[in-house]
């Protein structure tokens, strides 16, 4: 057996799993085969636990199908696989590269500095308006099948901003929890690093700030502000549609942030390529990282949301009432909250 065994597993998993799941959980794994043990290295404990819980049987099944009774044992570890010291002659020898199983992303230039505007003289450090709502956290976000991947991706970003999922693009209908997750990420980042420059805003606020900067001849200050944040969280990016000057400025801001490994999270009511009135070069960049859909909640999640909201307001909501409401309102969380408010009024 050789490490090509893991490449075979990757190819099969890519065929069997949705593209988002494969990109999010399987692609980051590194593998090392030794003494009939296949060690899989995950970038952090969260990914390790998720893969072991969700995909252990899939991977073991593939190993058995490829190797039969000689299938290696699986071992999971957090970290990166040890680097084997190889003589220079071996390094330059004719070794075939592993097959590429993931979609190729456009090459990004390695940053020489934090961002392209580090050398612009500034009279003072900008004052950052976080705008993150402390009430929206991962703890009070009700998880279900419809939003499980989105929550997991957001949690990953909060734990490792500027990492593999950059940008993170969340899309889905109104009232499904996209904004809640944006704030939850912001709170998560600042909990780990209180001095982090995290800025949340609606896309229209970005447009307003840019217009004001142009009017006041302060465009350089505008650029410094947005290109020096640690995380930029923009809601409803579809409102950039047909605003050519705003798209132009955001294009350069986007590039500067990515080159500086600064996190970008965007939300929209539709898939990136379906946003009309936005330049193709921007839509392409929106998909460079990870794109995750949030679907309308299923019945059990709707009931859980109602019970959670009632509990937060110190209201005892009978289970049969929660089911009655949940069965009749299926579209989004805001409708559920509105119905609950009418019941308890």
pLDDT exceeds 70 at position 99: no
Q: What pLDDT is recorded for position 100?
A: 36
pTM for this predicted structure: 0.70
Q: Which residue has the higher pLDDT, 57 or 338?
A: 57
Q: How many CA atoms lie within 13 A of 152 on its CB side?
A: 24
pLDDT exceeds 50 at position 109: no
Average the pLDDT over each of 19-23, 74-78, 289-293, 328-332 and give the range with the smallest value: 328-332
Q: What pLDDT is recorded for position 4?
A: 86
Q: What pLDDT is recorded for position 344?
A: 65
Q: What is the mean pLDDT of residues 193-214?
A: 95
State both tokens at 294. 């949030």
Sign of the four-CA dihedral 180, 182, 183, 187: positive
Q: What is the mean pLDDT of residues 82-103?
A: 45
**Residues 222, 209: contact at Cβ < 8 Å?**
yes
Q: What is the mean pLDDT of residues 35-61?
A: 89
Q: What is the mean pLDDT of residues 29-46?
A: 88
Q: What pLDDT is recorded for position 146?
A: 87
pLDDT tier, 330 (very low <50, low <70, confident <90, very high otherwise): low
Q: What pLDDT is recorded for position 126?
A: 67
Q: Which residue has the higher pLDDT, 103 or 341?
A: 341
Q: Which residue has the higher pLDDT, 102 or 34?
A: 34
Q: What pLDDT is recorded for position 337?
A: 75
Q: What pLDDT is recorded for position 44?
A: 79
Reported as a single tens digit per residue, the pLDDT across 269-302 is 999 999 999 999 999 999 888 889 998 888 888 8
Report which DSSP code applies to 26.
I
State both tokens at 178. 């996209």
Place of tokens 């955001």: 250
Q: What pLDDT is recorded for position 253?
A: 96
CA-to-CA distance for 146 and 24, rounded, in angstroms?
16
Q: What pLDDT is recorded for position 194?
A: 92
State both tokens at 15. 């065929």
Q: What is the mean pLDDT of residues 2-14?
A: 86
pLDDT tier, 202 (very low <50, low <70, confident <90, very high otherwise): very high
DSSP code string of 197-213: -EEEEEHHHHHHHHHHH
CA-to-CA distance for 106 and 218, rounded, in angstroms?
32
The per-residue pLDDT of the chain, averaged, comes to: 84
Reported as a single tens digit per residue, the pLDDT across 135-193 is 999 999 988 888 988 999 999 999 999 987 899 999 998 888 999 999 999 999 999 99
**Residues 217, 223: contact at Cβ < 8 Å?**
no
């Amino acid at each position: 057996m050789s490490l090509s065994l893991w490449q075979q597993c990757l190819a099969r998993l890519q065929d069997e799993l949705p593209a988002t799941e494969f990109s999010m959980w399987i692609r980051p794994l590194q593998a090392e085969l030794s003494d009939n043990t296949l060690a899989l290295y995950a970038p952090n404990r969260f990914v390790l636990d998720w893969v072991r819980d969700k995909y252990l049987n899939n991977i073991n099944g593939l190993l058995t199908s490829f190797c039969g009774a000689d299938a290696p044992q699986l071992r999971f570890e957090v970290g990166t696989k040890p680097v084997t010291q190889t003589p220079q002659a071996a390094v330059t020898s004719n070794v075939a590269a592993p097959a590429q199983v993931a979609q190729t992303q456009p090459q990004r230039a390695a940053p020489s500095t934090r961002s392209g505007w580090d050398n612009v003289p500034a009279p003072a450090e900008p004052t950052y308006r976080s705008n993150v709502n402390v009430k929206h956290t991962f703890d009070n976000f009700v998880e279900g099948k419809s939003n499980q991947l989105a929550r997991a991706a957001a949690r990953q970003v909060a734990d490792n901003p500027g990492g593999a999922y950059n940008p993170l693009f969340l899309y889905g209908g109104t009232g499904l929890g996209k904004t809640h997750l944006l704030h939850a990420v912001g709170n998560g980042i600042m909990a780990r690093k209180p001095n982090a420059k995290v800025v949340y805003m609606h896309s229209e606020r970005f447009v307003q700030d840019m217009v004001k900067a142009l009017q006041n001849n302060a465009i350089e200050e505008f650029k410094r502000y947005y290109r020096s944040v640690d995380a930029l969280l923009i809601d409803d990016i579809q409102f950039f549609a047909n605003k050519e000057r705003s798209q132009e400025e955001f294009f350069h801001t986007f590039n500067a942030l990515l080159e500086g490994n600064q996190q970008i999270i965007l939300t929209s009511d539709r898939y990136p390529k379906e946003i009309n009135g936005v330049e193709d070069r921007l839509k392409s960049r929106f998909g460079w990282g990870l794109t995750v859909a949030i679907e309308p909640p299923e019945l059990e999640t709707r009931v859980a949301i109602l019970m959670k909201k009632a509990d937060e307001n110190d209201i005892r909501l009978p289970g049969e009432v929660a089911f009655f409401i949940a069965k009749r309102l299926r579209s989004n969380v805001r409708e559920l909250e509105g119905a609950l408010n009418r019941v308890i009024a």
